[in-house]
């Protein structure tokens, strides 16, 4: 079983704000981490590998520093790692991101199963997995809450819908996106870190792809465009209450009583 | 084609420092006296607009042929019947579609994919659809990603709708990206507000860059325009007594309805707890310092006959069941009263509760974002307020 896990490096902090005067984006820190939802995808892959044998490779798209996220995945137990990085990929929306990932996957060779996290904490769209599957012309399942069984031909999974759960049998190769908590992720191993410290990561740019048309990548390949960013709107009628804890507790009690909540 | 061009002759260390300060994504590299943009660039254009004048330029190289937008008509709603009945988000989207359609003088369409679904088609006419396009085939029973994608793509190719709005259910969020990739168009997830321009460009508004920022997103040169919106973001129109509009059956070949996925079994979820029906909610965030302190707030919730809810970090910390999470990646709620305790109020959280009738927020930081939407802003320490409030109520 050849498994590939797609991961993303995301900002550690989600406190980003727009300076209302200058319109400039302000980020708290430049620190990054692996998208937490990807840890569940990795763990799912490791468990299938333990049961069925095979390999787990990791793929990411991002700036050169995203290598750190791939290294972390290796420390947790991943084998091969590949980063897709090119200025030409900059400004990619869901379509262009998914297309870039699918080009990378095709170039890496054959996989039986691609696993993605449910969503990222920065983009928050939960759409990239399904679009990648479409570009690969593979079936997919999103919101997978359990792997029931895996054979050479298919995988049986539980898919979480709104009020029902579907037990699906999906032909391989396929792509799944897994729910948080499908398995508890394990921590990166320091021992493994020492063992794999000088393992080279593969890097691919646009020149390594089969489709090298710049119009299909980054901002130019993105059907959507951000027209404007702005701070969120405010509620106009607002009462501000300040004072000591005791005073505020009294005011809140009065307010709740007046509203017949008590 | 757009490209960032750096005029190296205008670059010195001061300019580099200015640009690096302006760029929120750390995309400027200054190596051996040469300034370059790395792959972290999101092409946001701030360096052009806010950086030192004339150093970085956004150059249009050759523009792609513009599409004829007048060929794409109709604001379409995907009618989600994937769990056997019409999901109420469908009616909400029909209401929103009607408002958008009125601006540009387009009809409102519903796209219904399923099996044995004539009753559903009639029902949609009562919620303002001018025309319901129906794919009715035993192969489309339940929810199978490949046949559903094929039917939606068939509809798009034949009818050429201006926009397709999809409810943000798990099925909708799996289907919409598949359709977008197949017909090569943009897709905006979890819109919190929609507008439409005279040229039929849909303005899709949602939180962006994972932070306290909203973005207006457009799909200027692709059709249809595709977006998803969560349940309870828009309001459903009242059901009309008389059905207007017509039902149009659609044909699709068997070959297109092949599926490499088989549904082996459908299991009803245990009827659990549903936060969206609560009338009073007390929600906690990271201001609550330990799991033990959650019990304190729980006590308050019990006294108010309220449901306890939380922010995403509380779920990530493992303190709460995800079903109690409010926000874009959790539940959208609109109770009569919500009291937020120690919640700073990220855009994602606020998007999930700003429809509440009364919002009381308790936070010790007077600049917390939650106070922008609160009707009553209690600026103080929750540990000084909540225990005293509980004492008052008990008396």
Instruction: Find the mean pLDDT for residues A177-190.
Output: 84
Model confidence, pTM: 0.83
Q: Chain A interface, mutation test: which of B31, B149, B174, most A Cβ atoms within 10 Å?
A: B174
Q: Which residue of A has its CA nearest to B377?
A: A240
Instruction: Find the mean pLDDT for residues B183-191.
Output: 96
Instruction: Find the mean pLDDT for residues B203-222.
Output: 86
* CA nearest to A8, candidates A113, A109, A93, A128: A128
pLDDT above 70: percentage of residues in chain B: 97
Interface of B with A in 130-189 (CB under 8 A): 142-143, 145-146, 149, 169-171, 173-178, 180-182, 184-189
Query: Is B275-394 the same fold as B69-257?
Result: yes
Give, as one character, the DSSP assignment of residue B248. E
Query: What's the mean pLDDT when you consider all of chain A?
Result: 90
- Best-predicted range by mean pLDDT (B38-42, B209-213, B380-384): B380-384
CA distance B380 to chain A (A): 7
Q: At what angle do helices A128-136 and A94-108 cross, to 10 degrees?
A: 50
Domain presence at residue A261: no
Q: A135: how many CB neighbours lie within 10 A of its CB?
A: 18
Q: Which domain holds residue A16?
A: 2-221
Q: Chain A interface, mutation test: which of B177, B361, B389, most A Cβ atoms within 10 Å?
A: B177
A17 pLDDT above the threshold of 70: no
For B2-60, the fitting CATH number among 1.10.150.120, 3.40.50.300, 3.40.1410.10, 3.30.70.20 is 3.30.70.20
Q: Which residue of B has its CA nearest to A222?
A: B186
Tokens representing A235 are: 């509620």
Weakest-pLDDT range from A83-97, B26-40, B186-200: B26-40
Burial class (CB in 10 A: 0-12, 13-18, 19+), A21: exposed
At A25 the pLDDT is 58
Q: CA B393 to CA A252: how far, in whole Å?
A: 11
Which chain A residues touch B182 with a CB distance below 8 Å? 134
Instruction: Find the mean pLDDT for residues B232-258.
Output: 93
Tell me, what CATH number does A82's domain have? 3.40.50.620
Task: Provide the pLDDT confidence category of residue B62 given band limits of 50, 70 and 90.
Answer: low
At A81 the pLDDT is 97
- Interface check for A44 against chain B (CB to CB < 8 A): the answer is no
Task: Provide the pLDDT confidence category of residue A181 given band limits of 50, 70 and 90.
Answer: confident
Task: Provide the pLDDT confidence category of residue B38 given band limits of 50, 70 and 90.
Answer: confident
At B128 the pLDDT is 93
B195 pLDDT above the threshold of 90: yes
Which chain B residues touch A62 with a CB distance below 8 Å? 39-40
Instruction: Find the mean pLDDT for residues B245-263.
Output: 96
Q: What's the domain count of chain A?
A: 1
Report the residue from B43, B181, B329 with minimal CB separation from A124. B329
Instruction: Find the mean pLDDT for residues A185-207.
Output: 84
At B37 the pLDDT is 87
Q: Domain coordinates of chain B in residue numbers?
A: 2-60, 69-257, 275-394
Domain presence at residue A257: no
Interface of B with A in 219-238 (CB under 8 A): 219-222
Instruction: Find the mean pLDDT for residues B123-150.
Output: 96
Which chain B residues touch A242 with a CB distance below 8 Å? 366, 379-380
For B275-394, the fitting CATH number among 3.40.50.1220, 3.40.640.10, 3.40.50.620, 3.80.10.10 is 3.40.50.1220
Which chain B residues touch A159 with a CB distance below 8 Å? 170
Query: What's the mean pLDDT when you consider all of chain B?
Result: 92
A89 Cβ neighbours under 8 A, 6+ residues apart: A61, A96, A100, A206, A217, A218, B39
Interface of B with A in 32-71 (CB under 8 A): 37-44, 46, 49-50, 64
Instruction: Find the mean pLDDT for residues B328-351.
Output: 92
A20 pLDDT above the threshold of 60: no
Burial class (CB in 10 A: 0-12, 13-18, 19+), A260: exposed
Q: CA A119 to CA A100: how far, in whole Å?
A: 17
Per-residue pLDDT reduced to its tens digit, A138-179: 999 999 999 999 999 999 999 999 889 999 999 999 999 999
Sign, Cα dihedral of A246, A250, A255, A257: positive
Q: Tell whether omega for the bond before A65 is within 30 degrees of 0, i.e. cis.
A: no
- Interface check for B316 against chain A (CB to CB < 8 A): the answer is yes
Q: CA B96 to CA B87: how far, in whole Å?
A: 15
User: Do residue B369 and residue A232 have CB atoms under 8 angstroms apart?
Assistant: yes
Per-residue pLDDT reduced to its tens digit, B346-370: 988 998 998 898 999 999 999 999 9
CA distance B62 to chain A (A): 11
User: Do residue B380 and residue A243 have CB atoms under 8 angstroms apart?
Assistant: yes
Report the residue from B187, B217, B263 with minimal CB separation from A168. B263
C-beta contacts of B135-138 below 8 A and 24+ residues apart: B135/B250, B135/B252, B136/B249, B137/B252, B137/B257
Which chain A residues touch B181 with a CB distance below 8 Å? 95, 98-99, 130-131, 134-135
The arrangement of secondary structure in B69-257, i.e. its CATH architecture, is 3-Layer(aba) Sandwich (3.40)
At A15 the pLDDT is 60
At B279 the pLDDT is 87
Instruction: Find the mean pLDDT for residues B361-385.
Output: 94
CB A27 within 8 A of CB A72: no
């Amino acid at each position: 079983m050849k498994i590939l896990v797609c991961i993303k490096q995301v900002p550690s902090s989600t406190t980003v704000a727009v300076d209302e005067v200058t319109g400039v984006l302000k980020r708290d820190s430049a620190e990054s981490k692996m998208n937490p939802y990807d840890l569940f995808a990795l763990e799912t892959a490791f468990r299938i590998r333990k049961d069925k044998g095979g390999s787990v490779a990791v793929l990411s798209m991002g700036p050169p520093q995203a290598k750190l996220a791939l290294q972390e995945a290796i420390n947790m137990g991943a084998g091969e790692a590949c980063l897709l990085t090119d200025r030409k990929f900059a400004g990619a929306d869901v379509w262009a991101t998914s297309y870039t990932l699918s080009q990378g996957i095709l170039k890496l060779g054959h996989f039986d199963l691609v696993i993605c996290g449910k969503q990222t904490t920065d983009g928050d769209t939960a759409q990239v997995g399904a679009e990648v599957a479409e570009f690969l012309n593979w079936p997919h399942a999103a919101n997978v809450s359990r792997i029931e069984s895996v054979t050479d031909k298919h995988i049986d999974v539980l898919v979480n819908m709104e009020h029902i759960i579907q037990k699906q049998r999906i032909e391989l190769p396929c792509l799944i996106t897994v729910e948080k908590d499908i398995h508890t992720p394990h921590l990166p191993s320091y021992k493994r870190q020492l063992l794999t410290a000088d393992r080279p990561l593969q890097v691919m740019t646009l020149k390594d792809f089969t489709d090298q048309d710049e119009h299909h990548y980054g901002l130019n390949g993105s059907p959507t465009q951000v027209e404007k960013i702005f701070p969120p709107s405010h509620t106009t009628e607002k009462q501000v209450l300040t004072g000591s804890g005791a005073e505020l507790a009294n005011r809140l009690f009065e307010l709740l009583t007046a509203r017949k909540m008590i | 084609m757009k490209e960032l061009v750096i005029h190296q002759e205008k670059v010195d260390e001061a300019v580099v420092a200015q640009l690096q300060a302006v760029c929120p994504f750390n995309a400027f590299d200054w190596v051996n006296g040469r300034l370059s943009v790395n792959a972290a660039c999101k092409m946001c254009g701030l360096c052009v607009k806010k950086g030192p004048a004339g150093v970085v330029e956004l150059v249009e190289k050759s523009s792609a042929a513009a599409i004829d937008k007048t060929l794409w008509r109709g604001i379409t709603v995907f009618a989600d019947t994937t769990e056997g009945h019409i999901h109420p988000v469908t009616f909400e989207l029909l209401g929103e579609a009607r408002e958008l359609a009125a601006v540009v003088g387009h009809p409102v369409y519903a796209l219904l994919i399923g099996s044995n679904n004539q009753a559903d088609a009639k029902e949609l006419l009562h919620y303002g659809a001018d025309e319901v396009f129906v794919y009715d085939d035993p192969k489309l029973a339940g929810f199978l990603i490949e046949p559903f994608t094929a039917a939606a793509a068939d509809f798009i190719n034949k009818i050429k709708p201006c926009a397709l709005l999809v409810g943000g259910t798990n099925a909708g969020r799996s289907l919409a990206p598949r359709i977008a990739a197949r017909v090569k168009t943009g897709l905006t997830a979890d819109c919190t507000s929609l507008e439409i321009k005279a040229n039929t460009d849909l303005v899709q508004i949602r939180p962006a860059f994972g932070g306290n920022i909203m973005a207006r997103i457009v799909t200027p040169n692709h059709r249809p325009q595709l977006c998803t919106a969560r349940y309870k973001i828009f309001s459903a129109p009242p059901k009309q007594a008389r059905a207007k509009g017509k039902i149009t059956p659609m044909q699709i070949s068997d070959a297109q309805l092949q599926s490499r996925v088989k549904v082996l079994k459908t299991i009803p979820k245990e009827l659990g707890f549903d936060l969206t029906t609560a009338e009073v909610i007390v929600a906690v965030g990271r201001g609550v310092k330990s799991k033990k302190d959650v019990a304190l707030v729980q006590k308050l919730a019990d006294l108010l006959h309220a449901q306890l809810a939380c922010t995403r970090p509380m779920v990530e910390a493992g303190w709460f069941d995800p079903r109690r999470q409010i926000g874009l990646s959790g539940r959208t709620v609109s109770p009569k009263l919500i009291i937020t305790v120690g919640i700073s109020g990220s855009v994602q959280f606020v998007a999930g509760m700003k429809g509440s009738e009364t919002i009381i927020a308790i936070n010790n930081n007077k600049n917390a974002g939650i106070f922008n939407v609160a009707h009553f802003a209690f600026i103080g320490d929750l540990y000084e307020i909540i225990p005293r409030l509980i004492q008052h109520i008990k008396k």
